[in-house]
Structure 1
Amino acid sequence: MAQSVVVQVGQCGNQVGCRFWDLALREHAAVNKKGIYDEALSSFFRNVDTRSGGDGPDIYKGKICSLKARVRQSIKALLIDMEEGVVNEILQGPLRDVFDSKQLITDVSGSGNNWAVGHKLYGYQYRENIVEKLRKAAEHCDCLQCFFIIHSMGGGTGSGLGTFVLNLLEDEFPEVYRFVTSVYPSGEDDVITSPYNTVLAMKELNEHADCVLPIENESLFDIVNKIHQMINSGKLGSTVKQNSLVTSSAGSAKTVQEKPFDAMNNIVANLLLNLTSSARFEGSLNMDLNEISMNLVPFPRLHYLVSSLTPLYTLADVNVPSRRLDQMFSDAFSREHQLIQADPKHSLYLACALLVRGNVQVSDLRRNIERLKPSLHFVSWNQEGWKTGLCSVPPVGHSHSLLSLANNTCVKPTFIELKDRFMKLYKKKAHLHHYLHIDGMEQSCFSEAILSLSDLIEEYNELDATKGLS
């Protein structure tokens, strides 16, 4: 069985990673009622009893709560943050028994929302420590398949140190695939230097990642608010369960608008839950993670995959009638279900993967692809550019789910808007001195980064021009 290593970097990366492990544990607990260690559990966890007695948190159903992130045969989690607050919260929360100190790298001062501090300063300061922990994690895998990096783009640690780790992975493990889940800031982000951080990080993603799943905070916020409004309006005849992450972090009276981040992180974790389902459960058409890169990335730099998800909530947080199967496929191609602000149906597809979970037949997959194909624009040389996966175990509380990963030129407006925000600051040389006083950081780093982004946009322009879509 192939294994992977998860690297969570920065506040956002660790919060999303924490949600992923939480959901994965809950999912396995729901499927494995007795909490018996089995092959499905062995894909992500090892059977280690860390307690002498007592039941763990209810959400982990007793015995499963004592399982640790796998050391010998599957995913190994490495938590990195230059502020220790979030990691300390994880270690004091319900997941405290999932991690140990050997999986943590923390500092106290943070990166000050500065890519250069994360990449140039902390990167070189912690290089040997990071490499050592990555090597140990890799040595504990029988068949290392890929690395997952989870980080944000707007701050300093996630963007700077996150992409530094990405470079290390290419140097140390050049043959192992690198999947990156990157959360992009909104235009109204309260970090004024986020356009600098994001563009500097983009250059590293362009050069060193195999697949990037870009996710926009703005889209996540819109999705959470939409779910909240639909629940309040009663349009779905839906109710929210107590302790639901759709409306609060811990069953409190706080609304989505007051504290949306837990629900937003839950959506990203749900994406990763679906992405890794084939590695954790049986299926008639399980998709190997490396197949995604091989089938969806025809050009090395055009490796940004637009993700959409249906349903958008997990673990029966919301009691709603199941969507009809055909409607689920239609939803996956609608604007409302994209995790970036994009409309793939009116842009050009290079390739598309559909990862389905639940009691769905291969014939249902093929029928819906044939139904949708006429409304989708594929490049002329890859008209049959579909990859499908089918896992038999659905998410908790749902009969089926669908994750769509599209290599589509609809990511271009996101990058154009990012470039515009960068240039507004850069033309005024605003805040540059905060970056240039860091050793190894020169102004050429900015010019090279914006050139890399401009070249990427131009590659998408050239593709769009083949269909008159530019």
Structure 2
Amino acid sequence: MTQSIVIQVGQCGNQIGCRFWDLALQEHAQYRKRGSRDDSWNSFFMQSKSGNLSDNLSESIKARAVLVDMEEGVINQLLKGPLAKLLDQKQLLTDVSGAGNNWATGHLHFGAQYRERIEECVRRAAEQCDCLQCFFLFHSMGGGTGSGVGTSILSMLQDNYPDIYRFVTAVYPSADDDVVTSPYNAVLAMNQLTEHADCVLPFENQALMDITMKFGKEGKDKADKNPYDSMNDIVGKMLLNITSSSRFEGALNVDINEITTNLVPFPKLHYLVSSQTPLVQDGSSMPLRRLDQLFTDVFLREHQMIKADPRNSMYLSCALMCRGKIELSDLRRNIDRLRPSLNFIHWNTDGWKTGLCSVAPVGQQQALVALSNNTCIRHSMQNLKDRFVKLYRRKAHIHHYTSVDGMDNEIFSQSLESLSTLIQDYTNLETGNLPSNAAPIIIAD
């Protein structure tokens, strides 16, 4: 059984992590109640030193997690909540001053200041693994700690654990984000993600908000009251669905490393567009859809985790990961049905990866996730670039960044150039050309 370590950074990363661990506990508790032998909990949890596994999992296991925030608020709340016993307090690292919504402060100041302590936390978690396969990094791109400290940790992971996959869950700010410097932080962080991550799963705040308003039990009223809980719930369920096939039994299991191997034909073009169905919030009721309708829905624009429509762009590759009562014949039938309507690049027309996990999510009979490497991501990147350039042309707030030791205008220029290259590479692929400086194409069987 392979293991993964979750590293939660900043307010957003820790709130997503809290929801992820809660949902994971529910899944494994339900699975054990069925009388099934459950070794799968070992993927993300380890047995507590206090004793044997009990009926109450949260009392007898610890999360394979490292929690980092340059403010104390969110982590202190977690320690007062129902998941407190799940967390190893030696694996928590906080400061009191915060990164001031400044990537440079997070990356260059706090990243350097806390590097050794973070390395020690990661090393301690890694030593508890028999077969460490993947690091999951949860963070946001708009604030200072998530974008700055998060990408500093990512670089450290590549230096210290170059053979372990680095899978990043990155939440992108919306155009009306209340952090005025969020475009700077996001573009500066993206340069790091492009260089140091193996796979990036982008979530756009606006897309998550739209899903919450459209599919939530009480629609807009619920979203207005407490939108982030519902949004974090969507992200947490997505992560559980993606990892389900490596945790539970199924006819076609998919390891995390297979996602990168099969969906990323060019190393730096590792940003995946994700969607899932059904999209329901806790406590919501939804009529059972026909199975084929689930496969149709997962390719619709309103089910995507970014504000884009992959059907109008070029697919480089696509994975369908199924949970619950879905047979291989159902999967093959729907791929054959959908294939003519999806535009795959000419050198990978059969670029499908499929997974079947027999264990459904809690409260559902089936669930379906689509992960695609699709050129539609360039539209989101272009929107972010436009917001960055609008600020940078006026040199707005630049002095807050360049006043940090080690930060200069050259880093801004490099990050903008890196993003521009990504956009151009995806544009080239959409027109049938290869990316600039493309490595040889290797598509896994």
Q: TM above 0.5, one fold?
A: yes
Give the direction of change, closer, same or farther, for the CA distance of 1:91–1:35 in structure 2 (3 Å limit): farther
User: Aligned equivalents of 2:36 and 2:328: distance in 1?
Assistant: 31
- Give the equivalent residue in structure 2 for 1:73: none
- Give the equivalent residue in structure 2 for 1:345: 311
* Residue 149 (structure 1) aligned to one of 115, 137, 146: 137
Give the direction of change, closer, same or farther, for the CA distance of 1:180–1:327 in structure 2 (3 Å limit): same
- Give the equivalent residue in structure 2 for 1:236: none
Which aligned pairs between 1:181-220 and structure 2 lie closer than 5 A? 181-220=169-208
User: Aligned equivalents of 1:205 and 1:368: distance in 2?
Assistant: 34
1:380 counterpart = 2:318? no
Unaligned runs of 5+ residues in structure 2 are 434-445
Unaligned runs of 5+ residues in structure 1 are 53-60, 71-75, 233-245, 248-253
- TM-score between both structures, scaled by the size of structure 2: 0.94
Residue-by-residue CA offset, 1:74-118 (whole Å, 9 max, x unaligned): xx2000000010000001001011002111011011100000010
> One-letter code of the match for 1:450?
L
**Residues 280 and 286 in structure 2, CA contact (< 8 A), matched pair in contact too:** no
Give the direction of change, closer, same or farther, for the CA distance of 1:357–1:429 in structure 2 (3 Å limit): same
RMSD of the TM alignment (CA)? 1.9
Residue-by-residue CA offset, 1:310-346 (whole Å, 9 max, x unaligned): 01236x6212222211000001100010000010011
Per-residue deviation, 1:36: 9.2
- Give the equivalent residue in structure 1 for 2:234: 267
- Give the equivalent residue in structure 2 for 1:133: 121
**Residues 224 and 263 in structure 1, CA contact (< 8 A), matched pair in contact too:** yes
User: Aligned equivalents of 2:378 and 2:60: distance in 1?
Assistant: 42
- Give the equivalent residue in structure 2 for 1:23: 23
Q: Which segments of structure 1 move beyond 6 Å, counting only runs of 4 or more? A: 34-37
Per-residue deviation, 1:410: 0.7
Which aligned pairs between 1:203-242 and structure 2 lie closer than 5 A? 203-228=191-216, 231=217
User: Aligned equivalents of 2:270 and 2:43: distance in 1?
Assistant: 27
User: Aligned equivalents of 2:37 and 2:370: distance in 1?
Assistant: 31
User: Aligned equivalents of 1:96 and 1:378: distance in 2?
Assistant: 46
Give the direction of change, closer, same or farther, for the CA distance of 1:111–1:35 in structure 2 (3 Å limit): farther
User: Aligned equivalents of 2:13 and 2:309: distance in 1?
Assistant: 26
Per-residue deviation, 1:62: 5.5
Residue-by-residue CA offset, 1:365-413 (whole Å, 9 max, x unaligned): 1110010000000010000000001100001111100011000001011
**Residues 12 and 158 in structure 1, CA contact (< 8 A), matched pair in contact too:** yes
Residue-by-residue CA offset, 1:201-239 (whole Å, 9 max, x unaligned): 0100111111000100000000101124xx45xxxxxxx
**Residues 4 and 43 in structure 2, CA contact (< 8 A), matched pair in contact too:** no
User: Aligned equivalents of 1:174 and 1:43: distance in 2?
Assistant: 20
3-state secondary structure, aligned to 2:20: helix
Residue-by-residue CA offset, 1:279-313 (whole Å, 9 max, x unaligned): 22111111011000000000011100000010123
- Give the equivalent residue in structure 1 for 2:442: none
- Give the equivalent residue in structure 1 for 2:146: 158
Which aligned pairs between 1:306-455 and structure 2 lie closer than 5 A? 306-313=273-280, 317-455=283-421
Give the direction of change, closer, same or farther, for the CA distance of 1:88–1:357 in structure 2 (3 Å limit): same
> One-letter code of the match for 1:149?
L
- Give the equivalent residue in structure 2 for 1:297: 264
- Give the equivalent residue in structure 2 for 1:68: 61
3-state secondary structure, aligned to 1:363: helix
User: Aligned equivalents of 1:37 and 1:109: distance in 2?
Assistant: 46
Residue-by-residue CA offset, 1:119-144 (whole Å, 9 max, x unaligned): 00000000111111111211221111
> One-letter code of the match for 1:300?
P
Per-residue deviation, 1:464: 1.2
Per-residue deviation, 1:50: 5.4
- Give the equivalent residue in structure 2 for 1:88: 76
Per-residue deviation, 1:34: 7.8
3-state secondary structure, aligned to 2:119: helix
> One-letter code of the match for 1:343?
D
3-state secondary structure, aligned to 1:257: helix
- TM-score between both structures, scaled by the size of structure 1: 0.89
Per-residue deviation, 1:454: 0.5
Residue-by-residue CA offset, 1:151-209 (whole Å, 9 max, x unaligned): 00000000000000000000001111110000000000000000000000010011111
- Give the equivalent residue in structure 2 for 1:104: 92
Per-residue deviation, 1:37: 7.9
Per-residue deviation, 1:275: 0.9
User: Aligned equivalents of 2:116 and 2:43: distance in 1?
Assistant: 28
Per-residue deviation, 1:49: 7.6
> One-letter code of the match for 1:349?
Y
Report the number of matched residues. 432
User: Aligned equivalents of 1:45 and 1:302: distance in 2?
Assistant: 31
- Give the equivalent residue in structure 1 for 2:156: 168
Give the direction of change, closer, same or farther, for the CA distance of 1:352–1:449 in structure 2 (3 Å limit): same
**Residues 49 and 66 in structure 1, CA contact (< 8 A), matched pair in contact too:** no
**Residues 48 and 62 in structure 2, CA contact (< 8 A), matched pair in contact too:** no
**Residues 66 and 92 in structure 2, CA contact (< 8 A), matched pair in contact too:** yes
User: Aligned equivalents of 1:174 and 1:67: distance in 2?
Assistant: 32
Per-residue deviation, 1:67: 3.2
Please identify, of 291-300 and 30-39, the stretch whose mean Cα deviation from structure 2 is larger. Answer: 30-39
> One-letter code of the match for 2:383?
E
**Residues 29 and 35 in structure 1, CA contact (< 8 A), matched pair in contact too:** no
